[in-house]
Amino acid sequence: MKPKTIKLAANERIVAVVPEYAYGPGWRNYPTFVYIMSASGIRFVCIQSNEKPPMLSARFHAGAAMATSLIGSIKTERVQE
């Protein structure tokens, strides 16, 4: 499959690319989320495993390890809604 092309408006820019391991009983996936910012907010696009360009595929596992480490360094607290 051809690598996915993300379309950006003139006022948009990519602010984060986050590779993530996703899995459950009997399945697994390696999506990459691309976060795009503009004056009106943030949106994200998901790149599936078969849509990744070769350079992203080569760096996926290192990026996922870094993202997991960074997420783990953020102090959080679960609250009741």
Query: Residue 14: which residues within 8 A CB-CB, separation 6 or more?
Result: 6, 8, 34, 35, 36, 37
Burial-class residue 72 by CB neighbours within 10 Å (0-12, 13-18, 19+).
exposed
| pLDDT number for residue 72 | 95
Tens digits of per-residue pLDDT, 16-70?
Answer: 999 999 999 999 999 999 999 999 999 999 999 999 999 999 999 999 999 999 9
| Most distant CA pair in the chain, distance | 44
Tens digits of per-residue pLDDT, 63-80?
Answer: 999 999 999 999 999 999
Residue ranges per structural domain of the chain: 13-71
Using the predicted structure, report yes or no on whether residue 2 has a pLDDT greater than 90.
no
Answer for the pair 36, 13: CB distance below 8 angstroms, yes or no: yes
Answer for the pair 19, 2: CB distance below 8 angstroms, yes or no: no
The span from the CA of 6 to the CA of 51, in Å, is 11
Q: What's the predicted TM-score (pTM) here? A: 0.87
| pLDDT number for residue 39 | 94
